[in-house]
Amino acid sequence: MENLILHPDCADGPIHSASAALEATFTGCRATFKLEGDISAIKVPKRDDPERTDNLWKTTCFEIFWQPDGGSYYREFNLSPSTRWAAYDFDDFRESMRDAPAESVAITCTRDAGQLVLEADIASELPVPSDVALNAIVEDEQGNIQFWALAFPEGKPEFHSETCRQLRVEKG
């Protein structure tokens, strides 16, 4: 698991650590995200039908940004503990956003008082080699938001920045 860091502008909250792991698979990728802390003090979307849904990032959610070598194109996945998901393609930094193809996204989420673990199996064309970002957005019960990532650019939290894409994925 890779340790995620809290954005320096975010206040401490009920989550004291976040981590993530990703591996390329024959059909796409498998990702695991883990939050540790007082899980009862964060907003966790209730389990729902596993379907494509926009605006998942407005509350507790996990993200993957996948950028293949050789250009500015990238794909974004939003993964909710509710089992809902979203996938978007961009031609460049926040340009030409559109729904991305995904054959399937299977999410499981388990939690107890001290830990929340989300696992996702994503079937989607994901070329390698690529640079990947793994991120977490955590909303507490008071509506405060924490942003977690492998790295951040200077300034406000910006998950679309190439600076966040610190995980190198090569052919297996």
Question: 20 — phi, psi (to 5°)?
Answer: -155, 155
What is the number of structural domains in the chain? Answer: 1
- List, for residues 6-35, the tens digit of each pLDDT value: 999 999 999 999 999 999 999 999 999 999
Q: What is the DSSP string of 70-138?
A: SSS-EEEEEE-TTS-EEEEEESBTTBS-EEPP-SEEEEEEEE-SSEEEEEEEEES---SSEEEEEEEEE
Mean pLDDT of the chain: 96
The CATH number for 151's domain is 2.60.40.1190
The boundaries of the domain holding residue 80 are 2-169
Residue ranges, the chain, pLDDT below 70: 172
Give the C-alpha separation, 70 to 73, whole Å. 9
Compute the distance between CA of residue 72 and CA of residue 136 in angstroms, rounded to an integer: 23
In this prediction, residue 71 carries a pLDDT of 87
* pLDDT of the residue at 154: 94
pLDDT, residue 172, reads 59
| pTM for this predicted structure | 0.95
